[in-house]
């Protein structure tokens, strides 16, 4: 599939500029089929293809010692977690790592705001997926009053400079904003409330966020005005349909970063060599898990 390359940072313009393709590489046969009866099979077939491409990207990142940061932001229940899980599920957890930080500790509150995130930036050959990021300050902290106006203004001033430092150091930085409509968010919140295994996903902050829907919209608009830059743009994903959002986001990511197929060829496994001098420990002397199923 066609790839767009990030410009050489050694040239005159040191800020890497991403040149987007005119259209994501989605097979024509797949368009419009999500809503039909065959949706599940179509989705699984396309996702399997994309996950193979993700492995190719992973191997290229590892071999070329690239450093990749992908930020996932957006409203609650917009589908960020599902995309992150889908991407990471196909990859080596030692290469592709998820960072989802809790609220800052008392010690962290005394540090430079970006300091606790810097500790999680990638080393050579790593992909870091931020499930929310330093943009907490521009969103939830601003709207909910968890930071002062001075801290908020300083973040807005410093953030573009901070991200320029990251890209000039060679880090490939990709930022996604997942958008969701109020009605769809309500449906997902109600589903979480009714489903025991999902109920942990629904927090008091989620409920308060709905009460401040417009305030969050305004905060997002201001955040984009300051941080949607040429060298580090925001990419908005329509999250109202989860499966579409996953396919669209992953396809876009694969088109955004240049990679080549260097997946190793299949290997021939050797036969197990029997050792006549080895006697296995009797099964009766081992604590086996009961085979209930």
Q: What is the signed CA dihedral for 231, 57, 122, 78, rounded to 10 degrees? A: 70
Q: Write down how long the chain is.
A: 293
Quote the Cα angle for 209-210-214, to 5°. 90
Q: What number is the average pLDDT over the span 234-261? A: 98
Q: What number is the average pLDDT over the span 125-138? A: 98
Segment among 31-45, 66-80, 96-110, 229-243 with least mean pLDDT: 31-45
All domains of the chain, ordered by start, with CATH? 28-285 (3.40.50.300)
Instruction: Specify the residue for token string 């987007």.
Output: 20
pTM of the prediction?
0.85
Q: What is the pLDDT of residue 38?
A: 67
Identify the band that residue 18 occupies on the pLDDT scale cut at 50, 70 and 90.
very low
Q: What number is the average pLDDT over the span 241-265? A: 97
Q: What is the pLDDT of residue 131?
A: 98
Helix/strand/coil for 238: strand
At 159-172, the pLDDT tens digits run 999 999 999 999 99
Strand partners, 74: 178
Higher confidence at residue 147 or residue 12?
A: 147
At 174-194, the pLDDT tens digits run 999 999 999 999 999 999 999
The residue among 109, 163, 108 whose CA lies nearest residue 135 is 163
Helix/strand/coil for 288: coil
Identify the band that residue 35 occupies on the pLDDT scale cut at 50, 70 and 90.
low
Q: What number is the average pLDDT over the span 3-29? A: 41
Instruction: Specify the residue for token string 């992909």.
Output: 127
Identify the band that residue 115 occupies on the pLDDT scale cut at 50, 70 and 90.
very high
Per-residue tokens: 96: 């592709």
CA distance 90 to 55: 7
CA distance 251 to 23: 10
Instruction: Specify the residue for token string 């008091």.
Output: 204
At 45-79, the pLDDT tens digits run 999 999 999 999 999 999 999 999 999 999 999 99
């Amino acid at each position: 599939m066609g790839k767009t390359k990030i410009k050489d940072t050694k040239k005159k313009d040191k800020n890497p500029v991403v040149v987007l393709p005119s259209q994501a590489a989605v097979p024509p046969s797949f368009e419009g089929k999500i809503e039909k009866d065959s949706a599940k099979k179509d989705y699984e077939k396309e996702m399997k293809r994309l996950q193979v491409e993700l492995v190719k990207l992973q191997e290229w990142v590892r071999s070329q010692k690239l450093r990749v940061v992908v930020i996932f932001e957006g409203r609650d229940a917009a589908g960020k977690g599902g995309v992150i899980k889908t991407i990471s599920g196909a990859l080596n957890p030692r290469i592709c790592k998820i960072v989802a930080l809790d609220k800052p500790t008392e010690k962290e509150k005394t540090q430079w705001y970006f300091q606790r995130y810097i500790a999680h930036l990638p080393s050579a050959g790593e992909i870091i997926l931020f499930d929310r990021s330093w943009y907490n300050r521009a969103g939830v902290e601003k709207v909910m009053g968890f930071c002062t106006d001075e801290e908020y203004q300083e973040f807005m001033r410093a953030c573009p400079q901070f991200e320029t430092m990251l890209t000039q150091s060679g880090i490939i930085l990709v930022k996604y904003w997942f958008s969701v409509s109020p009605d769809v968010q309500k449906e997902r919140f109600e589903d979480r409330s009714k489903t025991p295994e999902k109920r942990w996903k629904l927090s008091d902050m989620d409920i308060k966020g709905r009460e401040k829907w417009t305030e969050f919209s305004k905060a997002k608009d201001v955040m984009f005005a300051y941080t949607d830059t040429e060298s580090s743009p925001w990419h908005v994903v329509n999250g109202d349909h989860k499966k579409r959002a996953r396919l669209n986001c992953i396809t876009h990511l694969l088109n955004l970063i240049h990679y080549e197929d260097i997946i190793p060829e299949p290997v021939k496994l050797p036969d197990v060599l029997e050792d006549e001098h080895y006697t296995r420990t009797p099964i009766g002397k081992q604590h086996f898990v009961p085979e209930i199923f």
